């Protein structure tokens, strides 16, 4: 769209009559008196005539000059140094309560720990039978499809096996594999939680006496319970109190374990499984802990489920 022509305020050029008559502009000037242009006061004169506006402008200028000088005189910010960063980190560590290694290990493994119960029939009368608990132990999920490792002695004589996951879901389970020489059984749960997590397993090749460990399980059915200790020794041999079985290449540990811990995980402070708790030693033949527990290395336990070693 074309813009309309803009015209200046100057007088138009004088037009002459083609017949040699008097110019039109001159005739108009002779007939109409010319009025002198009206002068307009300047902005400064208007400000002077209105003192309150003048002082407002002056005040604004003074404020701007003050801010400018303040910014110019302010010292430049000192750049952060590594010493400053170290001091800040140290201050944070001194004032913040961090969770203990045992707490972090427990939180890492607990989603994979299950309660294992062996059930059998108990007669109340001639035709009345109820399921009763014959054994209570622990298991650990090693595959998120519901594959669980536990001790064989926990489920060997059970007519029905029930597992309870960390979120409270209960399910029946079936034995899919056994390794009698290491007292291990592999279970398959019939139902599993939607967000089931499998435990992380870790090689035992670089373990050493003194390494911290955590045992998680259901001692006497109470739990889940956690106890902390250290690895006491490696490649230990254990013979069952009845003398019917002897196991070798075991991890000895001193984290408290009792009946019901059987089949539970022995984990590092990172929450990684290094063994399956399988036995406790008591020279008095009592089923209580005196500081000596044994676990099957996870390499042996994983092979029971057909999983390759590390």
295 and 241 in a common domain: yes
pTM for the predicted model, two decimal places? 0.68
For the chain, percent of residues with pLDDT exceeding 70: 75
The answer as to whether 68 is a domain residue is no
* Integer Cα distance of 148 and 56 in angstroms: 83
270 and 226 in a common domain: yes
Give pLDDT tens digits for 206-231: 999 999 999 999 999 998 999 999 99
The answer as to whether 45 is a domain residue is no
277 and 220 in a common domain: yes
DSSP H helices, the chain, are 24-31, 43-49, 51-73, 82-95, 101-109, 152-155, 298-304
* Integer Cα distance of 125 and 33 in angstroms: 138
Per-residue pLDDT at 150 exceeds 50: yes
Q: How many domains in the chain?
A: 2
The answer as to whether 288 is a domain residue is yes
From 155, 189, 223, give the residue that closes a domain.
Answer: 189
299 and 220 in a common domain: yes
**171 in helix, strand or coil?**
strand
Tokens matching residue 307? 């999983």
293 and 216 in a common domain: yes
CB 35: neighbour CB atoms within 10 A? 6
CATH number of the domain encompassing residue 293: 2.40.10.10
Query: Number of H helices and number of E strands within the chain?
Result: 7, 12
Least confident of 35-44, 162-171, 209-218, 280-289: 35-44
Residues annotated catalytic, as ranges: 153, 183, 262
222 and 183 in a common domain: no
223 and 178 in a common domain: no
If you average pLDDT over residues 152-161, what whole number do you get? 93
The answer as to whether 164 is a domain residue is yes
Domain extent, residue 224, equals 212-304
The answer as to whether 289 is a domain residue is yes
Give pLDDT tens digits for 12-52: 444 444 444 444 444 444 444 445 455 555 555 655 566 66
Give pLDDT tens digits for 228-274: 999 999 999 998 776 678 899 999 999 999 999 999 999 999 999 99
221 and 175 in a common domain: no
């Amino acid at each position: 769209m074309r813009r309309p022509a803009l015209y200046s305020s100057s007088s138009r050029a004088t037009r002459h009559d083609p017949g040699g008559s008097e110019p039109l502009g001159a005739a108009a000037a002779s007939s109409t008196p010319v009025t002198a242009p009206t002068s307009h006061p300047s902005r400064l004169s208007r400000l002077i005539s209105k003192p309150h506006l003048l002082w407002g402008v002056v005040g604004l200028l003074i404020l701007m000059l003050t801010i400018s000088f303040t910014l110019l005189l302010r010292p430049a910010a000192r750049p952060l140094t590594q010493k400053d960063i170290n001091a800040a980190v140290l201050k944070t560590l001194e004032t913040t309560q961090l969770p203990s290694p045992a707490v972090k290990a427990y939180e890492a493994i607990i989603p994979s720990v299950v309660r294992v119960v062996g059930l059998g029939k108990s007669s109340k009368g001639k035709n009345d039978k109820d399921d009763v608990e014959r054994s209570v132990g622990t298991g650990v999920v090693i595959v998120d499809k519901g594959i669980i490792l536990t001790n064989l002695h926990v489920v060997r004589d059970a007519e029905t096996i029930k597992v309870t996951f960390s979120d409270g879901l209960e399910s029946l389970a079936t034995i899919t594999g056994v390794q009698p020489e290491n007292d291990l059984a592999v279970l398959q749960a019939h139902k599993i939680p939607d967000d089931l997590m499998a435990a992380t397993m870790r090689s035992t090749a670089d373990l050493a006496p003194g390494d911290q460990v955590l045992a998680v399980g259901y001692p006497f059915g109470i739990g889940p319970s956690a106890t902390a200790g250290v690895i006491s020794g490696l490649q230990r041999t254990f013979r069952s109190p009845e003398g019917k079985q002897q196991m070798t290449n075991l991890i000895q540990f001193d984290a408290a374990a009792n009946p019901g811990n059987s089949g539970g995980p022995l984990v590092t402070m990172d929450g990684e499984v290094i063994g399956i708790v399988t036995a406790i030693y008591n020279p008095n033949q009592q089923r209580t802990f005196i500081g000596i527990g044994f676990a099957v290395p996870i390499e042996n336990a994983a092979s029971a489920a057909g999983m390759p070693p590390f």
